[in-house]
Amino acid sequence: MRIIAGTKRGAVFAAPPGTLTRPTADRVREAVFSSLGSVEGLAVLDLFAGSGALALEALSRGAARAQMVENRIGAVRTIARNITKLGFENAVFSRRDYLAFLKDAAKKQLRFDLIFVDPPYRMHRAAGPELKRWLPAVLAPGGRVVIEFDVRQDVDLPFTLLADKLYGDIRIRIYRAEEQGSQDNQ
């Protein structure tokens, strides 16, 4: 795997060992970031981070900071090595369950401008309602969520849908939260 653009363009990084992680392919990552446009200065959250590829790409493209959340020890070790190898001092990771992280972040009133969500496909049915409940509490006004899932499933989040694209058997949806104050004017 490699960083596609930005300050670390071309840098190679590792994927976690085993078959439990399916890293976002370079071509799909490139298409996602093309759709997003500038990520300069954003606070990024990468849930189900795997290798951390999406957060690392965002950092290379100028994101201010990134938090990666993963619960499998092999993946967490890979994320730690990737952060060190790429030299990102504005990246942190947590070995935690996504739901525990989201609840804690909501309690602490942490907000993120860009959230990547790429759970294992077998988890979508269970994770969907929890994501609908907790993502609004941690997404900054005007922030975006990028969710990746299998085309045979359907995931809908309580935000404005900006993009819905297919890449083989993968579906990517990009959502945006309402800007602060826009709900008050309606």
CATH number where 44 lies: 3.40.50.150
Residue 160 β-bridge partners: 176
Answer yes or no: is 130 within a domain. Answer: yes
Residue 69 β-bridge partners: 47, 94
Q: How many domains does the chain have?
A: 1
Answer yes or no: is 134 within a domain. Answer: yes
- Given a cut of 70, is residue 32 above it in pLDDT? yes
Region 85-100: what's the mean pLDDT?
Answer: 96
Q: Are 112 and 48 in contact (CB under 8 A)?
A: no
Q: What pLDDT shows up at residue 21?
A: 64
Residue 44 β-bridge partners: 66, 114
> How does residue 62 score in pLDDT terms, banded at 50, 70 and 90?
very high
* Greatest Cα pair distance in the chain: 50
Q: What pLDDT shows up at residue 179?
A: 85
The two three-digit tokens of residue 55, written as one number = 């957060």
The 8-class DSSP code of residue 23 comes to P
Answer yes or no: is 105 within a domain. Answer: yes
- Residue 134 carries which side chain, given as an amino acid letter? W
Answer yes or no: is 91 within a domain. Answer: yes
> How does residue 22 score in pLDDT terms, banded at 50, 70 and 90?
low
> How does residue 185 score in pLDDT terms, banded at 50, 70 and 90?
very low
Nearest-CA neighbor of 154 among 123, 129, 120, 125?
Answer: 125
The two three-digit tokens of residue 185, written as one number = 């004017």
Answer yes or no: is 17 within a domain. Answer: no
> How does residue 61 score in pLDDT terms, banded at 50, 70 and 90?
very high
> How does residue 123 score in pLDDT terms, banded at 50, 70 and 90?
confident
The two three-digit tokens of residue 31, written as one number = 């298409």
Q: Burial of 61 by CB count in 10 Å (0-12 exposed, 13-18 middle, 19+ buried)?
A: buried
| Rounded distance between C-alpha atoms, residue 126 and residue 47, angstroms | 15
Q: Are 66 and 9 in contact (CB under 8 A)?
A: no
| Rounded distance between C-alpha atoms, residue 3 and residue 155, angstroms | 28
Q: What pLDDT shows up at residue 125?
A: 73
Answer yes or no: is 13 within a domain. Answer: no
Region 117-139: what's the mean pLDDT?
Answer: 88
Give this prediction's pTM. Answer: 0.92
| Rounded distance between C-alpha atoms, residue 130 and residue 64, angstroms | 27
Cα-Cα end-to-end distance for the chain:
45
Q: What pLDDT shows up at residue 182?
A: 53
Answer yes or no: is 16 within a domain. Answer: no
Answer yes or no: is 3 within a domain. Answer: no
- Domain range spanning residue 68? 26-176
